[in-house]
Amino acid sequence: MARQGQMSKLSSFKLLAIDDDPQNRALISDALSQQGLEVLTASDPEAGFELFLRVRPRGVLVDLNAPEATEMDLLERMVRIDPSVNVILVSDHYSEDSAVEAVQKGACDYLPRPIDFQKLRHRIAGFLAEAEIRQKTLGLDHELVRACQFEGIVSRSPLMLEVFAKIRRVAPHFRTALITGATGTGKELVARALHTLSPALADRFVVCNCSALVESLVESELFGYVKGAFTGASQDKAGLFESADCGVIFLDEIGELSPGAQAKLLRVLQDHKVRRVGSTVSREVDLRIIAATNRDLRTMVREGKFREDLYYRLAVVEIGLPALTNRREDLPLLERYFVEKFAKEYEKPIAGLTRRAQSRMATYPWPGNIRELESVIGNACMMADGKFLDIHELPDRIQAQASDQSPTDEALFSLEEISRRHVMRVLERVGGNKARAAEILGVGRATIYQLLSRMKLEKQGESA
């Protein structure tokens, strides 16, 4: 009943039926138009593809009494143009291999001929329900992204909410802080948030990348120099500490600081004074120091590679950022955030990722964390020419991930249906290799064949 309701609500859902049999076309129009769908028909692949380009239907039914390659080719062309389209192939020569191939090429289903209309109506009702949920989710994501931002940091994960609370609490008071986390987890973003919410001068955030400091120049870089202090010192120059007076100095990659520089930094932390190279005068500085590292400083201390006293000075406030894999709930939110950002930058009407692309993203381990995610979405947006980013726009390493069908409706499937889908999924993942699939499913190869032929028999039985 609920599904029938959805059908009448979404009467703008267009279904294109490409069928070379005029009787079939009439039958499909009759059977489905009653359900409040707009059914358009075409008699051959080329006319069908043209109509597809013109009306952009949400669903396509392809039933051609033609070689399988023709149907597959048509399927591929349509999916490439609109990855979110729901295509169902109908064929005389149904086989599980073709079904796997069709699903891999982006089909939603592959049915044997003659069409079981009850089943087809059920499938279409499923598309409608899913389209509606997706539409709602897209709207919701947009609202969520806006609601889940803290000083430009997007997250709704409990771990990050704790980080936000900590930033809010310590920003007005801290003198030194240490931000730790793997590469690309947002350490600099957090440092900037700390600065923004602190009483430091708003325009004074000085970045010092410790890994880029040349040992022989560390002192003059950090402390500055006076004219004539060394060859080439033609005029007085303030160092980074002085430039950050009344503001924040961000010591990025602090784990790379040499032992000599560590000692000098410790002195500044203790005395709050700096003296330019070649000068006899020390100046007081009012500094807030934020250090960041993706290395484990405690281990470095144990190994004698980082000064213990410096570590304890810096880590008065320590903020640890979780890896993206430990806050997967942020993935759709961040995807949406970056899609909006790059769609605007490239002036393209990109609404989001297809379900298939989202599934691949969800199973990827993201070693480069949010920086990697940002660059993946940035590149995909640059290449995209449709409304949705599909797997073709993702880098190979992400395309190669297992795809997981959306669980939207799975709660309502029977166990048998879920097993069927799972077997198909595993087969898809292993490129149709039944021996490998049997191994993964923990059954003998014969069982897989039996299962597949039973499925095939059932399909034939249902449609007989």
Ligand X SMILES: Nc1ncnc2c1ncn2[C@@H]1O[C@H](COP(=O)(O)OP(=O)(O)OP(=O)(O)O)[C@@H](O)[C@H]1O
Whole-angstrom distance, CA of residue 326 vs CA of residue 162: 14
155 binds, among ligand X, Mg ion, none (CB under 5 to 8 A by kind): ligand X
Which residue has 């070379």 as its token pair?
A: 20
- Of 116, 132, 374, 439, the one binding ligand X (CB under 6 A) is 374
Residues 115-174 interacting with ligand X (rule: CB under 6 A): 153-155
Considering only 371, 392, 425, 436, the residue that binds ligand X (CB under 6 A) is: 371
Max Cα distance, the chain (Å): 99
| Count of residues of this chain found to bind ligand X when the rule CB under 6 A is applied | 16
Please provide the DSSP assignment of 204-270 as one string.
-EEEEEGGG--GGGHHHHHHEE-TTSSTT--S-EE-HHHHTTTSEEEEETGGG--HHHHHHHHHHHH
Does the footprint of Mg ion cover residue 132 (CB under 5 A)?
no
180 binds, among ligand X, Mg ion, none (CB under 5 to 8 A by kind): none
* Residue 374 in the binding site for Mg ion (CB under 5 A): no
CA torsion 355→106→19→49, rounded to 10°?
Answer: 90
24-32, 121-129, 184-192, 347-355 -> range binding ligand X (CB under 6 A) = 184-192
Interface with ligand X by CB under 6 A: which range of 106-114, 161-169, 179-187, 428-436? 179-187
Residue 224 touches ligand X, criterion: CB under 6 A: no
Under the criterion CB under 6 A, does residue 226 sit at the interface with ligand X?
no
The residue of the chain with the least Cβ separation from ligand X equals 186
List binders of ligand X among 288-317 (CB under 6 A): 294
In this complex, which beta carbon is closest to Mg ion, that of residue 20 or of residue 188? 188
- Closer CB to Mg ion, residue 123 or residue 192? 192
In order of 166, 395, 399, 453, the CA distances from 197 in angstroms are 12, 38, 40, 65
The closest alpha carbon to 198, from 169, 178, 172, 176, belongs to 172
The contact pattern for ligand X, residues 333-362, with x = CB under 6 A and - = no contact, is ----x-------------------------
* CA gap 353, 232 in Å, rounded: 55
Residue 207: what residue type? Answer: V
Among positions 179-238, residues that touch Mg ion (CB under 5 A) are 188
**What DSSP element (H or E) covers 61?**
strand 59-63
What are the structure tokens assigned to 418, written together? 């879920």
Of 391, 326, 388, the residue nearest 359 (C-alpha): 391
Applying CB under 6 A, among 74, 177, 289, 370 the residue interacting with ligand X is 370
> Which residue, 128 or 167, is less far from Mg ion as judged by CB?
167
Residue 186 touching ligand X (CB under 6 A): yes
How many CB atoms are located within 10 Å of the residue 58 CB?
A: 22
Would you call 1 helix, strand, or coil by DSSP? coil
Which of ligand X, Mg ion, none interacts with 255 (beta carbon under 5 to 8 A by kind)? none
Binding residues vs ligand X (CB under 6 A): 153-155, 181, 183-189, 294, 337, 370-371, 374
